[in-house]
Structure 1
Amino acid sequence: MSLFQSVKLALKQLLSAKFRTFLTMLGIIIGVFSVILLVSIGEAISKNVSTQLGDMGSNLVSISFQSDNPNEKFTYKDATSLLKESEIGSPEVMRNMEVRTGDKTATKQVTGINEDYVSIKNLELISGRFCSSVDVQYAQKVTVIGSEIAKSYFKNQNPIGKYVQISGARYVVIGVLKEKGESLFGSADKKLFIPISSAVRLFKSDSIDLYYIQTQTTEQVSTTVEQTKEKMNQLFPNDKEAYTVVNQQQALDTFDNITKTLTLGLGAIAGISLLVGGIGIMNIMLVSVSERTREIGIRKAIGAGNRAILMQFLIESIVLSLLGGIIGILLGIFTAQLVTAVSNFEMRVSASTILIAVSFSMFIGVVFGVIPAQKASKKMPIDALRAD
């Protein structure tokens, strides 16, 4: 019997008991669907993280400061002393403050920055301008607002030149940022940005929590990291645990490793469903062998060998598993497209994921179909014909 005839016979046999076939395939469908969906989620997270960190470039060094000693401070002046002539740097100091315009009042995140922050963070403006060095030097009461702040407080109006009250102090809006969406570091769309010098007065503190240094090339990063650590050691000789100097590329590699591990873990969890589905296939195939004992006896009596019987039941198991796998793949692709359509989380099912799912479905069919197939092939014709 040819392979085509064997597949045709297997399909005919499976369609003769549609409901039982569907219930048998259900474990494989759920397993493959889970693998497709969870692996796609892991890959989407990995791509999203890589894109967000990559947007800021691999030539970035960040210094975070958090001391248990209230008398220990890392000031903007301290931070700028770390820079070399070829480098640019910017602080990031955030506080939640009451922001008011007209009769609308809400608590929003206000961030103190300098003129280089826009290029370091790869931000774009849709109108107005960003904070300048003059604004920082003279502690001007100006603010650049995110797109959501603009929509919330000014609706259809042009915010440029209008005022917002931040903790009772009036700040003039000089720029509106282009919408960027959510990221690992929060959404710039929901923030207000003011000069670092103005933030020092508004927050009543000259200590900064985070400082970015951008080198001209990626090759300079390792040198900058070492030199920055040395300078920080000099500034805080008695508290080396208070600060962390991180290479952006190292952070990218770390997140990449984390997301790969996450993807692998999610895939493994989903694989358990496939294992359960495989056990279900084996059980049903064993039942099928018992039910078709006389058929096996007749086929052997007219000349079918053990190999032909084994291949018949094995192909039936593979077809059963493969059909479940295809349905699971289609459901996974549909769900991924649905999630992408209704949310900002972009999910794509890669060809490699589909190939792995199909291969694993066939593998499950072979592994869990071997025992029933062997049992069928080893039946003696005379015993099989005597079966009820």
Structure 2
Amino acid sequence: MLTAIYTAFVEAFRNLRSNFFQTFLSVLGIIIGVGALVTMLALIDGLEQLARDSIADKSAMETVTVRKNTFRMVDGLRVQLDRTIDISQPLMDSMLADLPYPAASQLFATGTVLIDRPDTTEELAVRYTAVSLPLVEELDSVAYGRTLEAEDRERDVVVIGHTLARRLIGTSRDVVEAVGLRIAVFGQELEVVGVSPPTEDDILQTMLPLRVLDRADNGLTYSAAGLVNFARIEDVRPGKVFIDDWFAARFPAIEQPVQTLASLEMVENLELGFSLFRLVMSFLIGIAVVVGGVGVMNVLLMSITERTAEIGVRKAVGANRRRIVTQFLSESVAISVIGSVFGLLLGIVMALISAAAISYFAGFDFSAVFSGQTMAVVAVVAVLTGIVFGTYPARRAAALDPVRAIQRT
């Protein structure tokens, strides 16, 4: 089998060398078709990657929230569970160690707390988010000061929202003066180290280290949730399934011990849109590949005409129909592979040039992405083109009468 394939490639190169321009023009359709296919797939993959990165920068698509489950569904109604779990950092670390995808985790807890406005008796209802440090996902840049850092794990610090800063210092002063202010939260005096940018709502918000809740002087109890931040968006869906299965195996006595939440709908819509676009463009460009396949058929038909006597001699000395078909079918695949290789090189060059042009004229960083899927498509196209368009010439060669073929010399 390997000998037949090697012989087929040698014969294909011989045809290219002896009838270079004729053979080259015949396979030019494959070169152009495969080149256009590689270029389009690389640019589409680049656009998809750009869209994923853009959405990830503006949303929490790459995160999965893990909360303990306190209810189960019975006959369409929520029934409280008799047993629940406590999500802790050691538990999340244990899960993370088994997770087959690169990710980081942290704990967080949310709630509402009353704080006193400095120098007044006014109480402010503030929504707080307490987080373990370091943060697995960077926050939006603060308007003033800085965000929470890993070193703040044991410090008495807090980042407050723009609206809360305005309420604390009054309308007559600049918001930047809120940085350095000290406020009492859960019986502890915390230093304001940052002020978040303004938002559309008027809710008073603050973010503080989770240890502040642990040190609360009124015996505060809270329920923490976990946040798993994946390094790649494509790992979110299988990662979510793994987390559900891991907790179910860890706590078999509790039915669905955790609830996992992820923004999968946006990911699925993005993948569906690009998949459809990829299929439509591949179909349109496939027309050029078909034209190239006709060229391969033409090359083989010419080769049969020139080698009629050779075919007759081979059949006369014992070559059966199957060997003749295999020989010419192998040559067809070899010619298609050669054309596809040149088309692949052409496509890579055109994709790189197109990506550079898009980056230059559009004013943003864009790059073509060459995936293993694109290379697999090229390989399949090369083999299928050779088989489909080489079958008829191969069968025609095998059907030649050896006596008449030899007499045509």
TM-score range, shorter chain: 0.5 to 0.7
In structure 2, what is the Cα distance between the partners aligned to 1:369 and 1:136?
Answer: 78
Q: Kindly indicate whether the alpha-carbon contact (under 8 Å) linking 1:24 and 1:284 is maintained by their aligned counterparts in 2.
A: yes
For 1:272, the equivalent position in structure 2 comes to: 287
Contact 1:27 1:276 in 2 (8 A): yes
Give the structure 2 partner of residue 356 of structure 1.
377
Structure 1 residue 337: deviation in Å? 3.0
State the distance in 1 between where 2:24 and 2:285 align.
20
Match of 2:346 among 324, 331, 338: 331
Show the counterpart of 1:23.
Answer: 25
Quick one: which of 383, 392, 403 aligns to 1:371? 392
Distance in 2 (alpha carbons) for counterparts of 1:8 and 1:141: 85
Q: Of the candidates 305, 311, 318, which is equivalent to residue 320 of structure 2?
A: 305
| TM-score, normalised by the number of residues in structure 1 | 0.53
Matched, 1:384 2:405: yes
> Separation in 2 of the partners of 1:339 and 1:128?
43
Q: Does 1:57 align with 2:60?
A: yes
Q: 1:229-240, aligned counterparts within 5 Å?
A: none
- Equivalences for 1:1-388 in 2 at 5 Å? 2-3=3-4, 4-55=6-57, 56-58=59-61, 86=111, 123-124=140-141, 132-133=162-163, 195=198, 248-341=263-356, 343=359, 344-387=365-408
Equivalent residues of 1:32, 1:328 under 8 A apart: yes
Query: What is the distance in 2 between the residues matched to 1:326 and 1:140?
Result: 71
Letter of the 1:384 counterpart: A
Q: Which amino acid aligns with 2:404?
A: D
Aligned pair in 2 of structure 1 residues 281, 136: CA closer, same or farther (>3 Å)? farther
DSSP 3-state at the match of 1:22:
helix
Inter-partner Cα distance in structure 2 for 1:332 and 1:48: 20
Q: Which has the larger radius of gyration?
A: 2
In the superposition, relative to structure 1, how do residues 303 and 49 fare at CA in structure 2: closer, same or farther (>3 Å)?
same
Structure 1 residues 30 and 254: CA distance shift in structure 2, 3 A = same
3-state SS, counterpart of residue 326 of structure 2: helix
The answer as to whether partners of 2:29 and 2:288 remain within 8 angstroms in 1 is: yes
The whole-number CA distance in structure 1 between the counterparts of 2:384 and 2:35 is 16
Displacement of 1:291: 3.1
Q: How far does residue 139 in structure 1 lie from its aligned partner after superposition?
A: 7.9
Q: 1:6 to 1:39 in 2, by over 3 A?
A: closer
String of CA shifts for 1:130-173, please: whole Å, max 9, x gaps.
Answer: 99336766789999xxxxxxxxxxxxxxxxxxxxxxxxxxxxxx
- 1:39-88, Cα deviation, whole Å (9 max, x unpaired): 2222222222222222320379xxxxxxxxxxxxxxxxxxxxxxx9659x
Deviation larger for 261-270 or 291-300: 291-300
Q: Name the CA shift for 1:308/1:256 in 2 (closer, same or farther; >3 Å).
A: closer
| Equivalent position amino acid for 1:259 in 2 | F
Say if 1:14 and 1:252 are closer, same or farther in 2 by CA, change over 3 A.
same
C-alpha contact (below 8 Å) 1:10/1:315 kept by paired residues: no
Decide whether the 8 Å contact of 1:53 with 1:252 is kept in 2: no
| Alignment gaps of 5+ in structure 1 | 61-83, 88-115, 144-193, 198-205, 207-215, 220-246
Q: Structure 1 residues 17, 295: CA separation in 2 closer, same or farther (over 3 Å shift)?
A: same
Conservation of the 8 A alpha-carbon contact between 1:10 and 1:316: yes
Unaligned runs of 5+ in 2: 65-108, 113-128, 130-136, 148-160, 176-196, 202-224, 229-261, 360-364
> 1:363: Cα distance to partner?
1.3
Distance 2:14 2:44 in 1: 39
**Aligned equivalents of 2:310, 2:302: Cα separation in 1:** 14
- SS of 1:346's equivalent? coil
What's the TM-score once normalised by structure 2's chain length? Answer: 0.50
1:294–1:387: 8 Å Cα contact kept in structure 2?
yes
For the Cα contact (< 8 Å) 1:314–1:373, is it kept in 2?
A: yes
Contact 1:297 1:382 (8 Å CA) reproduced: yes
Cα displacement string for residues 158-205 of structure 1 (whole angstroms, at most 9, x for unaligned residues): xxxxxxxxxxxxxxxxxxxxxxxxxxxxxxxxxxxx9568xxxxxxxx
What count of residue pairs does the alignment treat as equivalent?
247
Supply the RMSD in Å over aligned alpha carbons: 4.1
Question: Structure 1: which amino acid aligns with 2:46?
Answer: A
Q: Whole-Å Cα distance in 1 between the matches of residues 139 and 272 of structure 2?
A: 25
In structure 2, distance between residues paired with 1:139 and 1:257: 49
